[in-house]
């Protein structure tokens, strides 16, 4: 396998830039630059020189043996002074040595997976961690990257293999009386795995919202103060405000961090009998986005809510434009009255939703676990039908095991790997 190199830290000027090399010639390339190799896994100051002997930089150098490195290969890290000129000079010298090539996006992490250092769920957790913007996203990504889901899958698969062995015994010795306790043990294992799968599947929706962001829609009649409230919550003029009713025609989105949770606020078109075709489209979009939202904030004016709206139990209904702060359920984007209380209510509801999240966090996880669940349910049905159905039972169990292997990347994932790693930066 080729030796690869890439900048593991961010682009641009910085105090320190980390350049990583991985592969069979990673230590040799380091020796060529520094004239020596530091002790394994110990950081050492070295002067880096090009092939003509000219000094490139003074850097901290650390090397890792394959068995203790991130990628599972010999690795060198060069901690350079972080100017673009220094980084460029060192990378040019490495390329000129002919010992390594520039890494592709995600190639370090891909090698870690191929060498058994990470499973596919841990790779996805790492990708989410790199993209994390809020504390909740960081915690969720760390949980997946640390192997929480992978360990569950391995445990489920171990129990499934044990159940398959018990079923195989009933096939191999079908002419003998199989002890009832063997069938009971197989049933117990399958029922336990199925319960765990159902529990994990129930938490995916909340985990996806942590990963992608919760949606909170602001609804009300035209000129009810929706855009003013959005601007007050965002702390900037994200939406145009005017005394002219119907100013907002499309859905305006503002990304926020509320108590560590990623939240997208939706300012929607005012709800009324539309006056023109464009306003009709805006209202239809408003209602559609509101239906998909996790939470809705309704602003009432003197006429109340527009007809046809039915807030759910968790939705928040407030009296709009309470500029003088006289109403306990009033809100004013102009003066700020009621906004701290509104944010607290939004945070409390979404935090409760987030607490329901499991380790699985995306559609790929959902699909693989759903397939395993369906196969397990079919297997339990076959188990109830008696010994003559044991071959069908075994096939369903093999399908379940295959789906679990897909989940952690052991089989049939080549078609999705390129897409996953394409989203990584060069140094990962």
Binding residues for K(+): 223, 242, 244, 247
Those residues with Cβ within 8 angstroms of residue 168's Cβ, 6 or more apart along the chain or in another chain: 394
H or E segment to which residue 46 belongs: strand 44-49
What token pair was written down for 3?
A: 């030796």
User: Which residues are known binding-site members for GTP?
Assistant: 223-228, 242-248, 267-270
Strands (E), 109-202: none
Which residues fall in the annotated binding site for (6S)-5-formyl-5,6,7,8-tetrahydrofolate? 20, 77, 117, 428
β-bridge mates for residue 18, sequence order? 79
As annotated, the binding site includes 20, 77, 117, 223-228, 242-248, 267-270, 428
Q: What is the chain's length?
A: 428
Question: How would you list the strands of the sheet with 16-22, edge to edge?
Answer: 44-49, 55-64, 75-81, 16-22, 4-7, 101-102
Distance CA 407, CA 382 (A): 24
Bridge partners of 255, per DSSP, are 264
φ and ψ at residue 217, rounded to 5 degrees: -100, 140
CB-neighbour burial class of residue 362 (10 A; exposed 0-12, middle 13-18, buried 19+): middle
Q: How far is Cα 194 from Cα 188, in angstroms, rounded to an integer?
A: 10
The residues that bridge with 404 in the sheet, in sequence order, are: none
Output the CA torsion 64→130→18→78 (10° steps).
Answer: 10
Tokens of 31: 């020796």
Binding region for Mg(2+): 227, 248
CA distances from 110 to 72, 117, 120 (A): 11, 10, 9
For 56, phi then psi, to 5°, come to -95, -40
Q: For the stretch 165-181, what's the b/e string if a residue is b when 16 or more beta carbons lie within 10 angstroms of its beta carbon?
A: ebbebbeeeeeeebeee
By the 8 A CB rule, do 119 and 147 touch? yes
Alpha carbon dihedral 2, 150, 191, 391, in 10-degree steps, equals 0
Distances (CA, A) of 316 to 293, 298, 312, 353, 420: 13, 6, 9, 16, 38
């Amino acid at each position: 396998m080729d030796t690869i190199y890439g900048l593991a830290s961010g682009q641009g000027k910085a105090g320190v830039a980390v350049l990583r090399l991985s592969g069979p010639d990673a230590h040799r390339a380091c020796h060529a630059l520094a004239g020596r190799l530091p002790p394994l896994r110990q950081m050492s100051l070295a002067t880096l020189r090009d092939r003509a002997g000219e000094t490139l930089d003074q850097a901290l150098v650390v090397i890792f043996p394959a068995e203790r490195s991130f990628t599972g290969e010999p690795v060198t890290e060069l901690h350079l002074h972080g100017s673009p000129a220094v980084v460029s000079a060192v990378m040019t010298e490495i390329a000129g040595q002919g010992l390594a090539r520039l890494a592709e996006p995600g190639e370090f992490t891909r090698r870690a997976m191929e060498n058994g250092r990470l499973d596919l769920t841990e790779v996805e957790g790492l990708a989410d961690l790199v993209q994390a913007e809020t504390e909740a996203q960081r915690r969720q990504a760390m949980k997946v990257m640390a192997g929480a889901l992978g360990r569950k899958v391995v445990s489920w698969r171990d129990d499934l293999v044990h159940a398959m062995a018990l079923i195989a015994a009933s096939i191999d010795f079908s002419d003998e009386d199989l002890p009832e306790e063997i069938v009971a043990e197989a049933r117990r294992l399958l029922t336990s795995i199925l319960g765990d799968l159902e529990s994990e599947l129930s938490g995916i929706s909340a985990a996806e919202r942590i990963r992608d962001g919760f949606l909170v829609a602001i609804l009300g009649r035209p000129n009810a103060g929706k855009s003013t409230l959005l601007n007050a919550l965002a702390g900037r003029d994200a939406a145009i405000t005017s005394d002219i009713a119907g100013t907002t025609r499309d859905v305006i989105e503002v990304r926020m961090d509320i108590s560590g949770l990623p939240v997208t606020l939706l300012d929607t078109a005012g709800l009324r009998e539309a006056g023109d075709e464009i306003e009709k489209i805006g209202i239809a979009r408003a209602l559609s986005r509101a239906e998909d939202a996790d939470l809705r904030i309704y602003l009432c004016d003197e006429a109340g809510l527009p007809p046809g709206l039915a807030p759910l139990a968790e939705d928040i209904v407030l009296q709009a434009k309470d500029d003088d702060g006289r109403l306990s359920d009033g809100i004013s984007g102009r003066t700020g009255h009621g906004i701290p209380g509104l944010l607290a209510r939004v945070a409390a509801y979404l935090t409760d939703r987030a607490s329901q999240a499991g380790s699985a966090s995306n559609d790929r996880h959902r699909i693989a676990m759903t397939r395993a669940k369906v196969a397990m349910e079919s297997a339990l049905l076959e188990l109830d039908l008696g010994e003559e159905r044991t071959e069908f039972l075994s096939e369903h169990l093999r399908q379940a095991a295959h789906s679990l292997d897909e989940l952690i990347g052991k089989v049939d994932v080549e078609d999705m790997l390129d897409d996953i790693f394409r989203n990584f930066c060069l140094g990962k």
